[in-house]
């Protein structure tokens, strides 16, 4: 049997086993049964197992949509999709299930950077290439994954810092003391590590920028609101909120409004956000959010390029950076109508 045909055979048997388990004839195999359980009829389909972090943000939902539309049957793929609901242990389980199903490729977005060596070694031993999407891993041996596709998070953080520096200078406030609070996303994730490092590197060049606190708000609106509320009670004079994604920004905006304060181009508090989803860009247009640092979730095509390269027997690059911009009131109109997420 050819390699792919062999894999298909194993896949069909494993999918049958999963179906049995899901029908109640065995232990609870998966928390999420969103994976496609239809066996591929066509042996030429490339089988891709995707482990997504969860659905914590609008960005994440758009990222999932990009994957699902790229790895379709029409495009020659058989997609097995698993939503890990914010748990690393669920991602590890999903990866192991992809390995036992002998998929052709594993694509996954690691929730945090640490803790992947063992399972990635298992994938490598099984001869299955792993492509990292969005976030990165911290592993001793980089050959444990084939390629990474995502954003330059450190540059995103620097962009936020550079924008703030330019904005304060434009307003003639370049010499003033500036009090900054930061809402951070999932602790230990690449996006948080990079954005924090990038912003901090610019802040370090400004003696009068005081970062009062960096609070962990998990990339969600509810936590963004909760942490912002606490900081508003703790600090009297907040000049800038740096919120590491739009979902947390929405929570922060609610908290600020409820506290009777204003934000944005004409307001008391400067708001810097990340992601640039449509609803946040509308707030940029209204002048409620000052600037949104784009993070591009449409990574499906980039990942497909990696797979096509490998299918052609060529070596893929180790890193692929997606394209991103910075949006303020001045240029937001150029993108807002075409934003699908
Ligand atoms: O900014 C946030 C999401 O890792 C880039 O994760 C991603 C981040 C994104 O939930 O909204």
More confident residue, 8 or 64: 64
> What does the pLDDT read at residue 199?
98
Q: How far is the CA of 63 from the centre of ligand 1 (A)?
A: 9
Q: Which of 52, 58, 59 to mutate to test the pocket of ligand 1 (most atoms within 8 A of CB)?
A: 59
* Beta-strand relationship, 209-216 and 178-184: parallel
Mean pLDDT for the stretch of residues 138-151: 98
Q: Tens digit of pLDDT for each residue in 279-332?
A: 999 999 999 999 999 999 999 999 999 999 999 999 999 999 999 999 999 999
The pLDDT of residue 15 is above 60: no
Residue 154 Cα to ligand 1 middle (Å): 14
Give the model's confidence band at 20: pLDDT under 50 very low, under 70 low, under 90 confident, else very high.
Answer: very low
pLDDT digits (tens, 9 = 90+) for 164-196: 999 999 999 999 999 999 999 999 999 999 999
Predicted local distance difference test score (pLDDT) of residue 43: 82
- Residue pLDDT, tens place only, 44-59: 999 999 999 999 999 9
- pLDDT at site 42: 73
**pLDDT tens per residue across span 259-279:** 999 999 999 999 999 999 999
Task: Give the nearest ligand 1 atom to 153 CA.
Answer: 5
Residue nearest ligand 1's atom 10 by CA = 57
Task: Report residues whose beta carbon is within 6 angstroms of any ligand 1 atom.
Answer: 56-57, 59-60, 134-135, 185, 191, 219, 245, 247, 274-275, 295
Give pTM, 2 decimals.
0.90
User: Measured in Å, how far apart are the chain's first and last C-alpha atoms?
Assistant: 44
245: CA distance to ligand 1 center in Å? Answer: 7
> Candidates 54, 57, 273, 297: which one to mutate for ligand 1, based on the most atoms within 8 Å of Cβ?
57
Mean residue pLDDT of the chain comes to: 91
C-alpha 188 – ligand 1 centre gap (Å): 12
**In this predicted structure, what is the pLDDT of residue 33?**
42
Strand ranges of the sheet holding 178-184, from the earlier edge strand across to the other edge: 209-216, 178-184, 240-243, 270-275, 291-294, 326-328
Atom of ligand 1 nearest to the CA of 59: 11
Residue 4 pLDDT: 59
2-149+297-323: CATH topology is Rossmann fold (3.40.50)
Q: What is the mean pLDDT of residues 31-39?
A: 45
> For residue 14, is pLDDT > 90?
no
**Does the pLDDT at position 155 exceed 50?**
yes
Nearest CA, atom 5, ligand 1 = 191
Most ligand 1 atoms within 8 A of CB, residue of 134, 151, 322, 341 to mutate:
134
| 1, pLDDT greater than 50 | no
CATH of domain 153-295: 3.40.50.2300
Domain ranges in the chain? 2-149+297-323, 153-295
Structure tokens at 5: 């045909």
Ligand 1 pocket test, pick from 245, 250, 279 with the greatest ligand atom count within 8 Å of Cβ, gives 245
Please give the angle made by the CA atoms of 59, 225 and 84, to the nearest 5 degrees. Answer: 40
Q: Give the residue-averaged pLDDT of 7-29.
A: 45
**Nearest residue to 335 (alpha-carbon basis) of 287, 282, 289, 286:** 282
Lookup: tokens for 269: 């508090």
Q: Say if 2-149+297-323 and 153-295 have the same CATH topology.
A: yes
What SS3 class is residue 220? coil
Residue 3 has pLDDT above 80, yes or no: no
CA of 219 relative to ligand 1 center, distance in Å: 7
């Amino acid at each position: 049997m050819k390699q792919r045909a062999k894999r298909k055979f194993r896949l069909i048997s494993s999918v049958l086993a999963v179906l049995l388990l899901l029908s109640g004839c065995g232990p609870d195999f998966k928390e999420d049964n969103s994976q496609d359980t239809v066996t591929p009829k066509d042996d030429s389909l490339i089988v891709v197992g995707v482990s997504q972090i969860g659905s914590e943000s609008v960005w994440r939902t758009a990222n999932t949509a990009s994957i699902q539309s790229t790895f379709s049957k029409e495009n020659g793929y058989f997609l097995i999709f698993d939503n890990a609901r914010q748990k690393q242990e669920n991602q590890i389980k999903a990866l192991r299930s992809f390995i036992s199903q002998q998929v052709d490729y594993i694509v996954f977005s690691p929730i945090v950077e640490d803790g992947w060596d063992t399972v990635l070694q298992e994938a490598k031993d099984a001869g299955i290439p792993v492509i990292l999407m969005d976030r990165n891993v911290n592993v001793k041996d980089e050959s444990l994954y084939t390629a990474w596709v995502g954003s330059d998070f450190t540059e995103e953080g620097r962009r936020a810092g550079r924008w703030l520096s330019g904005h304060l200078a434009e307003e003639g406030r370049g010499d003033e003391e500036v009090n900054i609070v930061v809402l951070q996303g999932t602790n230990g994730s690449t996006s948080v590590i990079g954005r924090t490092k990038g912003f901090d590197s610019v802040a370090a060049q400004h003696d009068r920028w005081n970062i009062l606190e960096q609070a962990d708000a998990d990339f969600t609106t509810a936590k963004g609101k909760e942490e912002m509320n606490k900081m508003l009670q703790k600090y009297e004079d907040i000049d800038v909120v740096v919120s590491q994604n739009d979902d947390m920004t929405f929570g922060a905006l609610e908290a600020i409004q409820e506290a009777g304060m204003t934000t944005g181009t004409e307001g008391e508090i400067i708001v810097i956000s990340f992601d640039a989803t449509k609803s946040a860009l509308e707030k940029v247009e209204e002048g409620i959010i000052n600037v949104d640092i784009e993070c591009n979730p449409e990574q499906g095509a980039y990942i497909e390029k990696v797979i096509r390269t490998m299918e052609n027997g060529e070596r893929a690059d180790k890193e692929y950076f997606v394209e991103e911009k910075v949006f303020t009131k001045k240029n937001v109109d150029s993108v807002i109508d075409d934003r699908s997420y």
